[in-house]
Structure 1
Amino acid sequence: MTLPAPLSGVVPPVCTPLTPEREVDTASLVRLVDHLVAGGVDGLFVLGTSSEAAHLTDRQRAVVLDTVVRHVAGQLPVLAGAIDMTTPRVLDHVRALTGAGADAAVVTAPFYTRTHPAEVRRHFQLVARGSRVPVIAYDLPVGVHTKLSTETVLGLAAEGVLAGLKDSSGDEGGFRAVVVGKRALPGVFSALTGSELTADAALAMGADGVVPGLGNVDPEGYVRLCRAGREGDWARARAEQERLCALFRMTAVGDPARMGGASSALGAFKAALHLRGVIACPATADPQIPLSPEETKRVGKHLAAAGLL
């Protein structure tokens, strides 16, 4: 399908269910997609951070993308991450996702090698030139060690290089500057926040939509939040956001003495989906550390408190 202009609403970054052997569990992935569609989401983002794309082989990435695109069958737009270290590798992913039928490519700044801001801009220009689908910038400084400046994002948008931004930088002032600046752009540009915890604030400042990892677990909650924002009922939006903030505390159940924050957060999302009967196995990709049985019980308590069990 054609990417909506602008893309808006709830676009969850879809988790990648795995088997105990760490292969893609396509049956669980289909159930997860159905769970999200039934929850009323407006699009799907596969092969991003919550999808554990950095841990997947190219073969596994292809399986995920093909499974989701075929199952969605045009009901919703499918955005796909083309996330890799350098421009030629990203262009390979863009060709693959375009061939598979994705509606947009989500691209970070290059990483591993040190880059100048001019090289970051050239990276996006070259990717857009080689892409048959719209390119959405993914601002993820914690992962790629480059913060996309407001000037870079809006400049590339004005050139027609970028169709949108998924902002996971945590820089709310910078995101607001993009939201304000996009009003003067000649074309259509979507400003999407990746924050689970301040989605109501982002919508109030004029964001087009949200891309929340927690949306895998509770898509209906974020849909209600967005609906309240569209209707201007900010008290209702704030109440829903506060409920979701309490639910998000599940991401801290993992013991930081034995695992990283990503293992805890992604493990919690998958444990919650397993406890809700959506996926068959809560395994995360290697080398991430799995949650313990006690930590998984704590995830269940968060779900119960949110009315999801």
Structure 2
Amino acid sequence: MIKGSIVALITPMSPEGDVDYASLQKLVQFHIDNGTDAIVSVGTTGESATLPVDEHVAVVQKTVEYADGRIPVIAGTGANSTSEAIELGDLMQSVGISAMLSVVPYYNKPQQKGMVKHFQAIANAATVPVILYNVPGRTVADLEADSVIQLAQHENIVALKDATGDLGRLAELRDRVPADFALLSGDDPTGCEFMIQGGHGVISVTANIVPKLMSDLCKAATGGDPELARQIDASIAELHRKLFIEPNPVMPKWALYKMGYSQSPFLRLPMVEPDISSQESLEKLLKQMALV
């Protein structure tokens, strides 16, 4: 089962906008050293929307190379065209990934039946496990609980990343999916309670900045120590909030630049660097947490 603290890794870039592979290697090692359980490469936080296919594949391939079997690498492979998602998955599977994360089709607003058929087609074509990714705040379409339950019966669909922040959704799913199907939060502010109430882990933006704390939080929340989990979560609650004062991944990229893990906070257009007020707000917190 894919579980625990799974980082939604940024894609570091040079001031000119090229992928910064030296910083990527440094970040992979940072997560291995601090107990992160798995890496999602080129998901939403990794700027999948603005990396062309060849670059997308190259970043995943390098992440697998740098991980060198020490930590699983999950590739972001979603698309709003089923055939495109399958093609991207085919390219990713050849570089040694452990699983693929496939987002709900965006913009075209498919029906529930269409989404079920979409993911079944992807899973039928895949040679690695598939993780469903439901994030209606970005895709508009919402993969409903009954659809997840139906898809969870497919032998190659092994988990759900749910970024709704709705703990009621977890309650709907928890007892109705197979025992080996992983329920993963995609919402840092509610991730702790998600795990305490029966979830198996979190695909986390905050883990980019404090991987050891997120690893400890996940171990406590899934290991029967809710008091410790809530204590750790309270200590990083303001970080959860400040990392989303501008659209993700604007703030985590800027934070890692300030922390010395990336040579620049560059984002591909149409994303741009954070406003000065946002920079100052997050930098103040990072100093309070002794991260810079």
Is residue 83 from structure 1 mapped to residue 75 from structure 2 by the alignment? no
Is residue 250 from structure 1 mapped to residue 245 from structure 2 by the alignment? no
Is residue 130 from structure 1 mapped to residue 125 from structure 2 by the alignment? yes
TM-score (norm 2): 0.95
Of 263, 281, 291, which residue of structure 2 is paired with 1:298? 281
Partner letter of residue 234 of structure 1? P
List, as ranges, runs of 4+ consecutive aligned residues in structure 1 with deviation greater than 4 Å: none
2:272 aligns with 289
2:209 aligns with 217
The CA distance in 2 between the partners of 1:308 and 1:143, in whole Å, is 30
Q: Deviations over 1:77-119 (max 9, x none)?
A: 1111112111000011100110111111111222332422111
Is residue 196 from structure 1 mapped to residue 191 from structure 2 by the alignment? no
Q: Deviations over 1:175-210 (max 9, x none)?
A: 22222322xx2x621111011112221111111111
> How many Å apart are 1:141 and its aligned residue?
0.9
The CA distance in 2 between the partners of 1:249 and 1:107, in whole Å, is 26
| Aligned residues of 2:3 and 2:184 also touching (Cα < 8 A) | yes
2:41 aligns with 46
2:11 aligns with 16
1:1-309 equivalent positions in 2, closer than 5 A: 6-182=1-177, 185=178, 188-251=180-243, 261-262=246-247, 265-309=248-292
Distance 1:127 1:230, change over 3 A: closer
Unaligned stretches of 5+ residues in structure 1: 1-5, 254-260
| Aligned residues of 2:220 and 2:226 also touching (Cα < 8 A) | yes
The CA distance in 2 between the partners of 1:10 and 1:267, in whole Å, is 21
| Aligned residues of 1:53 and 1:61 also touching (Cα < 8 A) | yes
Partner letter of residue 269 of structure 2? D
1:257 aligns with none
Distance 1:173 1:304, change over 3 A: same
> How many Å apart are 1:74 and its aligned residue?
1.0
The CA distance in 2 between the partners of 1:227 and 1:23, in whole Å, is 36
Partner letter of residue 33 of structure 2? A
Q: Deviations over 1:23-54 (max 9, x none)?
A: 11111111111111111011111111111111
> How many Å apart are 1:281 and its aligned residue?
0.8
| Aligned residues of 2:5 and 2:214 also touching (Cα < 8 A) | yes
Distance 1:163 1:278, change over 3 A: same
1:256 aligns with none
> How many Å apart are 1:232 and its aligned residue?
2.4
Partner letter of residue 30 of structure 1? Q
Partner SS for 1:24: coil
> How many Å apart are 1:293 and its aligned residue?
4.6
The CA distance in 2 between the partners of 1:193 and 1:290, in whole Å, is 27
CA RMSD for the aligned pairs?
A: 1.6
Partner SS for 1:191: strand
Partner letter of residue 211 of structure 2? P
Unaligned stretches of 5+ residues in structure 2: none
1:3 aligns with none
Partner SS for 1:291: coil
Partner SS for 1:158: coil
Percent same amino acid among aligned pairs?
A: 27
Partner letter of residue 281 of structure 1? S
The CA distance in 2 between the partners of 1:297 and 1:73, in whole Å, is 37
> How many Å apart are 1:131 and its aligned residue?
0.6
> How many Å apart are 1:290 and its aligned residue?
1.1
* Deviates further, 275-284 or 221-230: 221-230
The CA distance in 2 between the partners of 1:242 and 1:231, in whole Å, is 18
The CA distance in 2 between the partners of 1:105 and 1:80, in whole Å, is 5
